[in-house]
A and B are shown apart, each in its own frame.
Chain A
Amino acid sequence: MAEALQWARYHWRRLIGGATRDEDSRPYNYSSLLGCGRKSSQTPKLAGRHRIVVPYLQPFKDEYEKFSGAYVNNRIRTTKYTLLNFVPRNLFEQFHRAANLYFLFLVVLNWVPLVEAFQKEITMLPLVVVLTVIAIKDGLEDYRKYKIDKQINNLITKVYSRKEKKYIDRCWKDVTVGDFIRLSCNEVIPADMVLLFSTDPDGICHIETSGLDGESNLKQRQVVRGYAEQDSEVDPEKFSTRIECENPNNDLSRFRGFLEHSNKERVGLSKENLLLRGCTIRNTEAVVGIVVYAGHETKAMLNNSGPRYKRSKLERRANTDVLWCVMLLVIMCLTGSVGHGIWLSRYEKMHFFNNPEPDRRIISPLLAGFYMFWTMIILLQVLIPISLYVSIEIVKLGQIYFIQSDVDFYNEKTDSTVQCRALNIAEDLGQIQYLFSDKTGTLTENKMVFRRCSVAGFDYCHEENAKRLESYQEAVSEDEDFTDTLSGSLSNMAKPRAPSCRIVRNGLLGNKPSNRLAGSSFTLGSREGASEVPHSRQAAFSSPIETDVVPDTRLSDKFSQITPRLFMPLDETIQNPLLETLYIIDFFIALAICNTVVVSAPNQPRQKIRHPSLGGLPIKSLEEIKSLFQRLSVRRSSSPSLNSGKEPSSGVPNAFVSRLPLFSRMKPASPVEEEISQVCESPQCSSSSACCTETEKQHSDAGLLNGKAESLPGQPMACNLCYEAESPDEAALVYAARAYQCTLQSRTPEQVMVDFGALGPLTFQLLHILPFDSVRKRMSVVVRHPLSNQVVVYTKGADSVIMELLSVASPDGASPEKQQMIIREKTQKHLDDYAKQGLRTLCIAKKVMSDTEYAEWLRNHFLAETSIDNREELLLESAMRLENKLTLLGATGIEDRLQEGVPESIEALHKAGIKIWMLTGDKQETAVNIAYACKLLEPDDKLFILNTQSKDACGMLMSTILKELQKKTQALPEQVSLSVDLHQPPVPQDSGLRAGLIITGKTLEFALHESLQKQFLELTSWCQAVVCCRATPLQKSEVVKLVRSHLQVMTLAIGDGANDVSMIQVADIGIGVSGQEGMQAYVNLLFWYQFFCGFSGTSMTDYWVLIFFNLLFTSAPPVIYGVLEKDVSAETLMQLPELYKSGQKSEAYLPHTFWITLLDAFYQSLVCFFVPYFTYQGSDIDIFAFGNPLNTAALFIILLHLVIESKSLTWIHMLVITGSILSYFLFAIVFGAMCVTCNPPSNPYWIMQEHMLDPVFYLVCILTTCIALLPRFVYRVLQGSLFPSPILRAKHFDRLTPEERTEALKKWRGAGKMNQETSNYANQSADKSGRKPMPGPSAVFAMKSATSCAIEQGNLSLCETALDHGYSETQAFEMAGRCKD
């Protein structure tokens, strides 16, 4: 009703105010989502956010113009510039940079005659060069974008033409909103469209969204209700429906709207009906849709906001330093201007050399001093290392080039390398201090392996299964080589078909399937008589480790009781086992059907398996059973199709004979019996033969090996079914169910077919699926049970949620209720047990509804579904109404295996001083166990668990823990001094105390509260590892934000945000900086000269030389250094992750480093000026001849300075240095020979030539260079000898032979280990189990000294990140690939 109102209002608004499209791009936020309470006030506003889509067809032409005319078409343009606006716009953008503005300012300044220092024209040169270079770079980038755009825009798709009345090929760019588009399999969707038709009889279409969100599994999309039932393809000509939906937004996970037929009947639309641009149609022959969003309004494009600008720490630091340089410049210029004023007041009358103004006026000293200030700014402009920004940028480009071309990050399976998206953070990679990690998929393989289950209170620990997993692991470690070849072949196999390939990629994170392994699991499987040979094709979908589940023997035994014998009416058995058996049946049915798994046959992947005979009535399968029974009771193996299935089966008795008794035996247990017997006795039984023939027909179809017969237990053919699930958990459960011969055979929107071993094929009419979401943490299916004909809800979800939804049993209830209580307790115990083992737990529950209840619910649910605005909440409410009073069936424990190398990586990262936070949605026990397993927590860590129910309690607990921690540290007085402020609390190693913090989602909420934030951070900074369990995605991002903003540290969030992992040299830029600061020394030379020329702003260097000095001779070497610098070899770094720490503290670019460098530069400039000064003092040398040795010496100083500072020199360095020197001399000589009147007043004529014949020139240059570099050289030498930094020491390793190296490494570590061992030994007596021994003070002390060698930090550091060590290449790839947002 409200909607009708809204609709009216909307149209009214449309009529009056026209489109209010400016509001459209606003994404929905939480408040609007939850704003149901304010609905009335919001309604008018919401109305404005709707968009009406009218088919782009003849009859609707007017209407189309009215509504859809203004919508963007599908052409995309991601370029910034066009040919016309390139120059102005690029200039405009470039002048947004401070550096260029500075240059411009200088140029303009130089045009003021009074302050002119150089020739006007020449001063423009640097600016022009910089602008041109950057403009060319931008232009090329844009051109590349343009080409890609063009390529995309010109892709062909089939669009319905209103003229030709058929689908014709058209470019993507010509697609408009309202167009009908027909896509075939494997085609990319050109625009967001509502799915109107699918060749799939069930109206399903599968899309692959890997291009969009990186998730590689298929997603189902549903034809709009009402259209799915149509047999023929939707005819655009007859399409007279309008679509109303929300305006474009970037939320990929929602789409709201409805379809209004011409008869005003409305059908709700959801994201299930929307095909997103950029996705690929899979597994569906053809689809037709109507475009609702096109081009830049598609969700995909709205999400593609381009790379975020990330300011690197270094850049921030550089900025402050530049500010200091500005200060320095101002001081120097002031000195110059004051000096000039004083000088002038002394020589004011002396016209001899105090040249008057052109108009013979003598300006007053004060004014002259003021002018001089500006002149000096021009003169000393190079002091501001503006070119630094350009250099840094170039250096970064170079580094990223190396990162991207690093073979270690190359992934063969996907043929892709690391992609660096944000330039700026490259160097920050070396400075990461905090690492946030998701658990699933990052630490773990995201390969769920069914490990244990608990049904009806009995735990089945699946020991065989565990054994299998172990043997599997061994096999992996045994033949690594073999693995490679096989996985290679796997990928080859996958190649012909894109979708399969995709899955291989998914699976490669643990790419270890080997033939031998497959063989071994086969033998295991066949012995058990239930497992199947892993088909190679199947392996491409899911690795055998996931698909093979070895049934628990006990459970199998119980399964074998599901025999007709058990149900024989005459057989008097106690009720209990019977009930349990029913539980087991229900449990496995739930495993098999409570999911959204897509079934396909590998021979023809994506060709859905269908049962043509299954018309839709749930009764039918029962009929079948009956008919079969009837036939079989006459002649046992009359049906050839069933024959093949039954004969080889060993453990399962022939069932059909006793089918009927089975059902009748069930009578007392459930209230179904009447209906069943009714059905059985109904005249419909006569239709059985027809049904049977149909079945046979289907069997003869060679293509589809999916008949019931083949899938009977013991038949290897059953494995030919492939399951594709949205999450690996689901798949694991389905595979587990299959292992118990409860095989999911097919799934359509209407029904699910399960082949339940002993019971035969069962077809469930699928009434509803309430999909999984993170709020509810559960999913449900509503089915009509084929046997009982009741409406049954199967729910599967997180244990905490399910446990709360169970029906509350009255204490004095009937025995089943009591039993339910017992089961519940037992299951809870098992769940805890599973969690302790690090298994992911899920609870399975069911609920039986009466038809009336269901009808009631359905009505409400339908209302919820069709509402547009607060549909989510309504759906949630609706789900809540359904999922309650559940009966617990059991629980499962799934193992999410750790990724290869994870513990080692975590350990290394710890050693590197990186704090790791694991943010996971798992329950506490699971999370802690995973944390232990991946060495995130060490056994002797002190664990603090924050799990409180209120904010105050949380705060109290935190302060208690803090106190305790502080007390621990006070045991070591010298450490206390380190903990000066909150932002730099002592590193845990300092105190020798390793602490881990576990915090639950609920408590996290309190901790993230503003008042507790600070305390929380303080606490966490004490802890080496923090595990947040039960955290919601929102909380995860909040945590990251909190740490990033409050501690101002470099963080790396795996799974979101920062996406590049690499080897990088942080301090390379530091080198570049010092190189640039060398320039300052050079500039200071000009400054010193002012003292000898009356502060008149004379430059003793030709301006051309000055420019070339900047642009060529001294800028290329630092850049090369920056790019190629490498201090320690990768191998050594791998072995010594501790080295990462220096980079983390960005030692190479500390504040004092800047000042030291500045001081050094000051000294160098003094030397560089005064050595030649004293040499040539009183001689007849002229200005530019005096400048020449200064320049030459400065060049040598700068270059040799770099050599001293650099850690490795390759032939490239040598080449650049020699090239620099040679080009300098060549330039000076050529310039000197050619230029007579090039650049008045300076006259470089023959100066260099003369100097090169003069021995004094060489003597001066050598002497100057030596004196200038001596202090730094000595400093470095002393540092190297007396206080070697770990990095320096590590460099020694590179020189050793491999044997010596191992030895040395042992010794390096030895000290630490030895001490640790003694401490452990001491603790052993105290706590033998050793999980959380508290290191006593002595142990703490020992550990302290052990680590001190690593802590002792040298000042110089160029550090490659140890991250490449931390993450094996696959993981690195994973990280890169995973960080899609």
Chain B
Amino acid sequence: MAMNYNAKDEVDGGPPCAPGGTAKTRRPDNTAFKQQRLPAWQPILTAGTVLPIFFIIGLIFIPIGIGIFVTSNNIREIEIDYTGTEPSSPCNKCLSPDVTPCICTINFTLEKSFEGNVFMYYGLSNFYQNHRRYVKSRDDSQLNGDSSALLNPSKECEPYRRNEDKPIAPCGAIANSMFNDTLELFLIGNDSYPVPITLKRKVLLGGQIKCEIQKSPGGDNLEERFKGTTKPVNWLNPVYVLDSDPDNNGFINEDFIVWMRTAALPTFRKLYRLIERKSDLHPTLPAGRYSLNITYNYPVHYFDGRKRMILSTISWMGGKNPFLGIAYIAVGSISFLLGVVLLVINHKYRNSSNTADITI
């Protein structure tokens, strides 16, 4: 018996009855917290109590869903697949690696005119830009403009770290696999004389990407700055001559920046150019026939990839996507329906939900 021996008892020396009764007692504080009597909201989930919630959800979600759906439907979008795997495709010839440079033209017709700013995307399918080792294969310090990293890229870039004993700038698999097709858009008027459509860059990108991230390591002479490095294996040109515009070269080249933001899913689109709205009177892209000129460099066919050119207007909710609207409408409806069901249940079982009325 009796194994209550405990060192503390010993110190206390038996019963705590100090003469005079010291003020300090071990009586726990009678506070709401300690006695677990905090005012509490006790949700009781019964049909009766939650009925309003379902109806409210229904009433809110359905209009939102309709709004989104309408907005999404108002977005004009056209996708042109120019992979060229089909023999009939004008780009079919470009599948062979021998034809360089290969330029193909695809004609298409816009049924309805595109109002407002139109965004031009290139889209890739089946391209796993989110592969773990692919995603890792970059050196943010290098891209950020760290000169030591420029000449000594991170090991993460392997095996695209060095080429012929020279550090690759930009290093890594992402940069190496950069999309390098050139897309041009022409409006084919009635006179069948194609009018080139101005494709803009910077305006859009400026706000989205902060240039501090990928500040060019060089000052005036980019080539000088990138001295001692070599271009990625797959690239045609070094990083400092990516564009004719001198301000759009090096690591701050917008196409490069867009590419480096690895897509989350294997089917993705990336912004290529912006077609600015000219005036309120004329649609940006009137309905009619267009032709797409492609300088076909990027091989995707041998991993069953697809290449697309996408023209899309945008709304407050981004690109065209009916899912969200439908989902909202569906959830709202379900919720409303459940509300009705619960109303019935509540009416039928109200008595039994109340204990006081239980009779057996």
Name A's B-contacting residues (CB within 8 A): 76, 78, 117, 145, 148-149, 151-152, 155, 188, 208-215, 252-253, 278, 280, 300-301, 303-305, 347, 349-350, 352-360, 375, 402, 404-407, 410, 412, 414-417, 491-492, 494-498, 501-502, 505, 1063, 1092-1094, 1096-1098, 1100, 1124, 1126-1127, 1171, 1173-1183, 1185-1187, 1203-1204, 1206-1212, 1236-1237, 1240-1241, 1243, 1245-1246, 1250, 1254-1256, 1259-1260, 1263, 1266-1267, 1270, 1273-1274, 1276-1282, 1284, 1288-1296, 1300, 1303-1304, 1307-1308, 1311, 1345-1346, 1348-1349, 1380-1381
Min CB distance, B327 to chain A, in Å? 6
When A78-B7, A211-B9, A498-B17 are in contact, do A1180 and B263 touch as well, CB less than 8 Å?
A: yes
Q: Is the CB of B10 within 8 A of A1093?
A: no
**Of A78, A1208, A1236, A1270, which one neighbours B144 at CB under 8 angstroms?**
A1236
Q: Which residue of A349, A417, A1243, A1279 has the most chain B CB atoms within 10 A of its CB atom? A: A1243
Min CB distance, A239 to chain B, in Å? 28
Min CB distance, B137 to chain A, in Å? 5
**Of A212, A360, A1097, A1263, which one neighbours B324 at CB under 8 angstroms?**
A1263
Q: Is the CB of A148 within 8 A of B173?
A: no
Q: Is the CB of B265 within 8 A of A1173?
A: yes
Q: Is the CB of A358 within 8 A of B267?
A: no
When A214-B2, A1256-B317 are in contact, do A1263 and B135 touch as well, CB less than 8 Å?
A: no
Other contacts beyond A301-B5, A1263-B324: 8, CB < 8 A: A152-B7, A355-B137, A496-B19, A1237-B140, A1240-B154, A1270-B335, A1281-B46, A1281-B346
Q: Which 7 A-B pairs have the closest CB atoms?
A: A213-B2, A1186-B264, A358-B158, A1380-B4, A405-B28, A501-B17, A1289-B355
B30 adjacent to chain A (CB < 8 Å) = yes
B281 adjacent to chain A (CB < 8 Å) = no
B203 adjacent to chain A (CB < 8 Å) = no
Restricting to B258-290, which residues have a CB under 8 Å from any CB of A? 258, 261-271
B121 adjacent to chain A (CB < 8 Å) = yes
Instruction: Tell me the complex Cα distance, A1381–B3, Å.
Output: 5
Nearest B residue (CB) for A148: B7
Q: Is the CB of B21 within 8 A of A1096?
A: no
Q: Is the CB of A1307 within 8 A of B28?
A: no
Q: Is the CB of B355 within 8 A of A1290?
A: yes
B29 adjacent to chain A (CB < 8 Å) = yes
B148 adjacent to chain A (CB < 8 Å) = no
When A211-B14, A1092-B266 are in contact, do A300 and B5 touch as well, CB less than 8 Å?
A: yes
Instruction: Tell me the complex Cα distance, A280–B129, Å.
Output: 79
Instruction: Tell me the complex Cα distance, A425–B142, Å.
Output: 57
Q: Is the CB of B138 within 8 A of A498?
A: no
B68 adjacent to chain A (CB < 8 Å) = yes
Restricting to B145-177, which residues have a CB under 8 Å from any CB of A? 154-156, 158-159, 161, 173, 177
Q: Is the CB of A1093 within 8 A of B358?
A: no
Residues of B within 8 A of A1273 (CB): 45, 50
Min CB distance, A1171 to chain B, in Å? 7
Q: Is the CB of B131 within 8 A of A495?
A: no
Residues of A within 8 A of B144 (CB): 1236-1237
When A352-B177, A1093-B131, A1311-B358 are in contact, do A1126 and B14 touch as well, CB less than 8 Å?
A: no
Q: Which residue of B131, B144, B271, B317 has the most chain A CB atoms within 10 A of its CB atom? A: B131
C-beta contact mask, B37-48 vs A, less than 8 Å → 1, else 0?
Answer: 011111111111
Q: Is the CB of A1178 within 8 A of B42?
A: no
Residues of B within 8 A of A211 (CB): 4-5, 9-10, 14
Nearest B residue (CB) for A1289: B355
Residues of A within 8 A of B155 (CB): 358
B97 adjacent to chain A (CB < 8 Å) = no
Instruction: Tell me the complex Cα distance, A1250–B209, Å.
Output: 11
When A1096-B133, A1183-B264 are in contact, do A1381 and B318 touch as well, CB less than 8 Å?
A: no
Q: Is the CB of A1208 within 8 A of B41?
A: yes
B357 adjacent to chain A (CB < 8 Å) = yes
**Of A417, A1284, A1308, which one neighbours B356 at CB under 8 angstroms?**
A1308
Nearest B residue (CB) for A1208: B40
Q: Is the CB of A406 within 8 A of B28?
A: yes
Instruction: Tell me the complex Cα distance, A360–B319, Å.
Output: 39
Q: Is the CB of B355 within 8 A of A1292?
A: yes
* 19 A-B residue pairs with CB within 8 Å: A78-B7, A301-B5, A352-B173, A353-B129, A353-B134, A354-B131, A358-B159, A498-B13, A498-B17, A1093-B266, A1208-B40, A1240-B136, A1270-B334, A1280-B353, A1284-B46, A1291-B44, A1303-B356, A1304-B356, A1345-B360
When A1096-B128, A1182-B264 are in contact, do A1236 and B159 touch as well, CB less than 8 Å?
A: no
Q: Is the CB of A1174 within 8 A of B28?
A: no
**Of A303, A1126, A1290, which one neighbours B2 at CB under 8 angstroms?**
A303
Nearest B residue (CB) for A1281: B47
**Of B48, B127, B130, B319, which one neighbours A1098 at CB under 8 angstroms?**
B130
Min CB distance, B177 to chain A, in Å? 5
Q: Which residue of A151, A1182, A1303 has the most chain B CB atoms within 10 A of its CB atom? A: A1182
Residues of A within 8 A of B262 (CB): 1182-1183
Instruction: Tell me the complex Cα distance, A1237–B212, Å.
Output: 12
B205 adjacent to chain A (CB < 8 Å) = no
Nearest B residue (CB) for A1279: B45
Residues of B within 8 A of A1346 (CB): 360
Residues of A within 8 A of B356 (CB): 1292, 1296, 1300, 1303-1304, 1307-1308
Q: Is the CB of A1175 within 8 A of B321?
A: yes
Nearest B residue (CB) for A1173: B265
Instruction: Tell me the complex Cα distance, A360–B176, Å.
Output: 14
Q: Is the CB of A417 within 8 A of B159?
A: no
Q: Is the CB of A1210 within 8 A of B39?
A: yes
Nearest B residue (CB) for A149: B7
Residues of A within 8 A of B359 (CB): 1307, 1311
Residues of B within 8 A of A1274 (CB): 338
Q: Is the CB of A404 within 8 A of B28?
A: yes
Instruction: Tell me the complex Cα distance, A581–B27, Å.
Output: 56
Q: Is the CB of A1282 within 8 A of B57?
A: no
**Of B2, B34, B121, which one neighbours A1180 at CB under 8 angstroms?**
B121
Q: Which residue of B25, B45, B61, B130 has the most chain A CB atoms within 10 A of its CB atom? A: B45
Residues of A within 8 A of B38 (CB): 1124, 1210-1212
Residues of B within 8 A of A353 (CB): 127-129, 131, 134, 173, 177
Q: Is the CB of A352 within 8 A of B303?
A: yes
Residues of B within 8 A of A1206 (CB): 43
Q: Is the CB of A1259 within 8 A of B324?
A: yes
Residues of B within 8 A of A1296 (CB): 356
Residues of A within 8 A of B193 (CB): none
Min CB distance, B154 to chain A, in Å? 8
Min CB distance, B43 to chain A, in Å? 7
Q: Is the CB of B136 within 8 A of A1267?
A: no
Instruction: Tell me the complex Cα distance, A1291–B43, Å.
Output: 9
**Of A360, A1179, A1289, which one neighbours B321 at CB under 8 angstroms?**
A1179
When A354-B134, A495-B21, A1259-B68 are in contact, do A1266 and B57 touch as well, CB less than 8 Å?
A: yes
Instruction: Tell me the complex Cα distance, A1171–B335, Å.
Output: 17
B84 adjacent to chain A (CB < 8 Å) = no
Instruction: Tell me the complex Cα distance, A608–B10, Å.
Output: 26
Instruction: Tell me the complex Cα distance, A1304–B354, Å.
Output: 9
When A1274-B338, A1280-B47 are in contact, do A1255 and B316 touch as well, CB less than 8 Å?
A: yes
**Of B13, B39, B352, which one neighbours A1284 at CB under 8 angstroms?**
B352
Restricting to B11-67, which residues have a CB under 8 Å from any CB of A? 11, 13-21, 25-30, 33-36, 38-50, 57, 61, 64
Nearest B residue (CB) for A1315: B360
**Of B26, B41, B271, which one neighbours A416 at CB under 8 angstroms?**
B26
Residues of A within 8 A of B239 (CB): none
**Of A350, A352, A494, which one neighbours B17 at CB under 8 angstroms?**
A494
Q: Is the CB of A1348 within 8 A of B360?
A: yes
Q: Is the CB of B334 within 8 A of A1282?
A: no
**Of A415, A1173, A1181, A1207, which one neighbours B26 at CB under 8 angstroms?**
A415
Nearest A residue (CB) for B31: A405
